[in-house]
């Protein structure tokens, strides 16, 4: 367990010295927290926003994080908030994604006011790109699907699109403009969410893996068993992303899907919108960093960066924005998307004191705010969210738990 020293320094810069730091500094790894209202397992974006929401409701909350807060998928993602480009067959899921996208602007404002971090939320929209007739036909089909679903999108002539986005390749032949797909800097977002947790009194325990859920003789969850001892809790929320199924006693199946991303640095951003082709997406940060992603690989917990994948991403990115070829710096990384067998999140109560908030797969940055809202509602005893059936974590259970 280490001190969140960076966090503390930052929050002190913003708020002045704290008389009573909440970040836990146990001597030599000994556990100092023995009891809390709620333990959130995992300090990714989902865990941080859930903890923040529960703290706001007056619960005493502890995040227990295996390594460092906000350093896994939530750090390694691209930050697209793309309910429409990612729309699948389920209307309920689409509505959930739109609901969460609509929470991001307010969240960004709240976080800026609370902890002074601008998370670079932007609603400039997304261009879906075609490079040949077949891809242009596919875009026309997407436009018709969007119209049928009542979603806003518009086919734009390539020349007009290039006037909007001068960095676009002259090889683009057709463009579908999707104004409702937005973006955020996910690294800033998870950092701000962790700072906000700290400011709201959430205790953050790092470098402390949870080994298993703890049950009493009546089989009720009573806490978590960590490498530094047991923490008793009135409620346990599993937000451990791709590693969720490794926690003893947590039976929701979640497996990692690796994604590699190439980041290149330009003097200025080559586009305002997110640009998506059949082969890659290009997301430009306002400081000139450009992310080209991302691969989809079912290779277990392997996070290695592979040269051939990076080469393919560079080629795909240059097809979209040719000036990426003159980038002067860069980096590549890999992250693990937490996927359930049906690709949908598992959010909901498993038993009286156990809640799942995991399996967000390709859309965890997008869906983290609505996840926090759903978990907050569950613990308050609100009426179930309209997506509760779709998200039911018991749907994979062989028994007939699933409603
Ligand atoms: C390459 C890539 C691109 C992506 N792009 C996008 C995008 O553009 N838009 C989008 O919406 N989503 C995107 N995603 C998906 C998104 O990143 C994830 O869905 C989301 O970050 C999941 O958040 P999380 O908090 O559940 O998981 P994580 O951020 O992975 O956090 C889980 C945390 O739990 C901790 N943990 C695990 N096991 C334990 C344990 N036993 N005890 C204690 N702590 C534990 C981990 O250390 C980790 O910190 C992308 C993902 C990848 C990999």
**What CATH class is the domain 255-339?**
alpha beta
Task: Choose one of 42, 190, 335, 360 to mutate for the ligand 1 pocket test, by most ligand atoms within 8 angstroms of C-beta.
Answer: 42
User: Which tokens in the block code for residue 200?
Assistant: 């709201």
CB 324 within 8 A of CB 264: yes
Please give the share of the chain, as a percent, with pLDDT higher than 70.
91
DSSP annotation of 297 reads B
| Contacts with 111 (C-beta within 8 Å, 6 or more apart), sequence order | 117, 119, 189, 192, 193, 195, 196
Residue ranges per structural domain of the chain: 5-76+187-253+342-396, 126-179, 255-339
Torsion of CA 272, 274, 276, 280, to 10 degrees: 100
CB 156 within 8 A of CB 209: no
pLDDT in tens, the chain (403 residues): 333 444 444 444 444 333 333 444 333 334 567 899 999 999 999 999 999 999 999 999 999 999 999 999 999 999 999 999 988 889 999 999 999 999 999 999 999 999 999 999 999 999 999 999 999 999 999 999 999 999 999 999 999 999 999 999 999 999 999 999 999 999 999 999 999 999 999 999 999 999 999 999 999 999 999 999 999 999 999 999 999 999 999 999 999 999 999 999 999 999 999 999 999 999 999 999 999 999 999 999 999 999 999 999 999 999 999 999 999 889 999 999 999 999 999 999 999 999 999 999 999 999 999 999 999 999 999 999 999 999 999 999 876 444 4
- 167-190 confidence digits (pLDDT tens): 999 999 999 999 999 999 999 999
| Contacts with 332 (C-beta within 8 Å, 6 or more apart), sequence order | 260, 261, 262, 263, 305, 310, 313
Cβ count near 93 (within 10 Å): 21
The domain over range 5-76+187-253+342-396 is classified in CATH as 3.40.190.10? no
What lines the ligand 1 site, CB under 6 Å?
41-47, 64-67, 71-74, 76-80, 209-210, 239-243, 247, 259, 261, 293-294, 335-338, 358, 360-366
- 142-155 confidence digits (pLDDT tens): 999 999 999 999 99
DSSP annotation of 23 reads S
Q: Are strands 154-157 and 174-178 parallel, antiparallel or unpaired?
A: antiparallel
Task: Choose one of 63, 72, 223 to mutate for the ligand 1 pocket test, by most ligand atoms within 8 angstroms of C-beta.
Answer: 72
Residue found under tokens 């051939």: 308
């Amino acid at each position: 367990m280490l001190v969140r020293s960076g966090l503390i320094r930052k929050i002190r810069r913003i708020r002045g010295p704290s008389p009573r730091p909440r970040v836990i500094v146990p001597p030599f790894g000994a556990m100092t927290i023995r009891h809390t209202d709620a333990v959130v397992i995992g300090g990714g974006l989902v865990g941080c926003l859930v903890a923040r929401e529960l703290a706001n409701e007056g619960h005493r909350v502890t995040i227990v994080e295996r390594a460092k807060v906000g350093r896994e998928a939530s750090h390694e993602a691209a930050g697209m908030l793309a309910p429409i480009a990612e729309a699948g067959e389920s209307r309920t899921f689409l509505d959930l994604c739109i609901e969460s996208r609509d929470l991001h602007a307010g969240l960004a404002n709240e976080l800026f006011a609370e902890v002074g971090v601008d998370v670079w939320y932007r609603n400039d929209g997304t261009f879906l790109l075609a490079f040949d007739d077949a891809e242009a036909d596919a875009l026309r089909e997407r436009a018709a699907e969007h119209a049928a679903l009542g979603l806003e999108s518009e086919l734009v002539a390539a020349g007009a699109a290039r006037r909007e986005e001068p960095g676009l390749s002259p090889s683009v032949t057709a463009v579908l403009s999707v104004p409702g797909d937005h973006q955020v800097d996910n690294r800033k977002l998870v950092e701000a969410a962790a700072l906000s947790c700290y400011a709201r009194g959430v205790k953050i325990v790092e470098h402390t893996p949870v080994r298993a859920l703890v049950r009493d003789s009546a089989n009720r969850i009573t806490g978590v068993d960590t490498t530094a001892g047991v923490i008793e809790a009135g409620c346990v929320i599993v937000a451990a992303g791709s590693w969720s199924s490794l926690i003893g006693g947590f039976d929701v199946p979640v497996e990692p899907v690796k994604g590699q991303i190439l980041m290149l640095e330009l003097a200025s951003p080559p586009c305002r919108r997110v640009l998506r082709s059949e082969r890659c997406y290009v997301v430009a940060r306002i400081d000139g960093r450009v992310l080209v992603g991302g691969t989809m690989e079912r290779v277990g917990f392997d996070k290695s960066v592979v040269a051939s994948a990076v080469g393919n991403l560079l080629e795909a990115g240059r097809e979209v924005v040719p000036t990426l070829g003159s980038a002067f710096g860069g980096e590549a990384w890999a992250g693990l998307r937490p996927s359930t067998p049906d690709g949908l999140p598992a959010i909901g109560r498993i038993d009286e004191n156990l809640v799942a908030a995991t399996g967000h797969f390709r859309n965890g940055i997008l869906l983290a705010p609505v996840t926090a809202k759903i978990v907050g509602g569950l613990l308050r005893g609100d009426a179930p969210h309209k997506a509760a059936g779709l998200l039911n974590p018991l749907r994979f259970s062989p028994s007939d738990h699933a409603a």
